[in-house]
Amino acid sequence: MGGLLILVALVLSTLLWADLSNLYVWAVLLVTFSFGLLGFMDDYLKVTKRTSAGISGRMKLVVQFLVAGSAVFFLMRLQAPPLTGAVAIPFVKGALIQLGWGFLLFGALAIVGSSNAVNLTDGLDGLAIVPVMIAAGTFLLISYLVGNIRFADYLQINYVPGTGELAILLGALIGASLGFLWFNAPPAMVFMGDTGSLALGGVLGATAVAVKHELVLVIVGGLFVMESRFRHGASGLIQDHRTPCVSHGAYPSSFRAARLARADHRDPFLIISVILALVGLSTLKLR
């Protein structure tokens, strides 16, 4: 299972190289492990039952919101006023919208939305993992700058002490994803499944909440947003297309047809992903 391999490499590398006294690292790891476990259970049910019906969508959302809400509450306790419960507005210097305890719902929506958007994008060979790596690289730089008081002061962005350590976690994610991509590039031999896609999307969402760049995530992860809209608007032909750790012959013909129909869109999607990442990074300076 490709997603499980990504998670093992990500978690072990983070535990080896990150400062384990940093609570931001543990908050993001909590979301990563919990979402990965949820995805693994879903994948396991699909494989053992040989059906696309795993854990119900409602149950998934309940578990995701419970985990995400707990992580957001923990992150709010770590952050000092005026950042606690506030949403930063991109391109506007020092602009914060105070949501108070309403930020619990907002932050949870950011994490759960990111997780499910990546999950919906997964399926086409290399389509999901490369944009995830691009987004992770973008937030690696953002988290380092936000966590460094000198750079944060120079760029006039909100300084969040301790978030610089998340750069190590995101670097581990990129490294693990590169190893996975070697076998996931067309023709794919392994697939992420829900184990990988839910967890990686959760990492991006939790990091965005930690560094107070939730709205920038909407820009950087715009590809996932567009793909989610496409998936909801598409016919049932390409729904429930992920069946991890099985040979190509085990995939239904509808899945193979859907992959062929979307194959021509892979390269433009990657170009869009890079452009959106650059736009997201421009928010650091254009104020």
pLDDT at position 73 over 70: yes
H/E segment holding residue 88: strand 86-88
Question: What's the pLDDT tens digit per position in 87-98?
Answer: 999 988 888 999
Q: What is the pLDDT of residue 230?
A: 66
**Helices 166-184 and 23-49, interaxial angle, to 10°?**
30
The mean pLDDT value for 209-214 works out to 96
φ, ψ of residue 135 to 5 degrees: the values are -65, -40
Query: What's the CA gap between 209 and 28, in Å, rounded?
Result: 10
Q: What confidence tier does 124 reach under pLDDT thresholds 50, 70, 90?
A: low
Mean pLDDT of 198-202: 95
**Residues in contact with 59: Cβ distance below 8 Å, sequence separation at least 6, in sequence order:** none
In tens, the pLDDT along 227-286 reads 766 665 554 444 444 444 433 334 344 444 444 445 555 677 788 999 999 999 999 988
Residues 68, 106 contacting (CB under 8 angstroms): no
How many beta carbons lie within 10 A of that of residue 246, not counting itself?
Answer: 12
Tell me, rounded to whole angstroms, the distance of Cα 142 from its chain centroid.
Answer: 15
Task: Give the mean pLDDT of 175-184.
Answer: 87
**Is residue 214 predicted with pLDDT exceeding 70?**
yes
Average pLDDT over residues 206-220: 96
Torsion of CA 145, 272, 25, 82, to 10 degrees: 50
Which one is predicted more confidently, 1 or 136? Answer: 136
- DSSP letter at 156 equals T
Question: From CA 28, how far away is CA 139, in angstroms rounded?
Answer: 13
Torsion angle (degrees, nearest 10) of CA 210, 214, 218, 223? 0
Q: Residue 247 phi/psi, 5° resolution? A: -75, 165
Q: Which residue stretches of 147-265 are H helix?
A: 149-155, 166-184, 193-210, 214-220, 222-233, 253-263
C-beta of residue 213 within 8 angstroms of C-beta of residue 146: yes
DSSP 39-58: HHHHHHHHHHHTSS--S-HH
Range of lowest pLDDT (17-26, 60-69, 111-120, 232-241):
232-241
Alpha carbon 221 to chain centroid distance? Answer: 9
Q: In which band, very low, low, confident or very high, does the pLDDT at 112 lie, cut at 50, 70 and 90? A: very high
pLDDT at 68 exceeding the cut of 90? yes
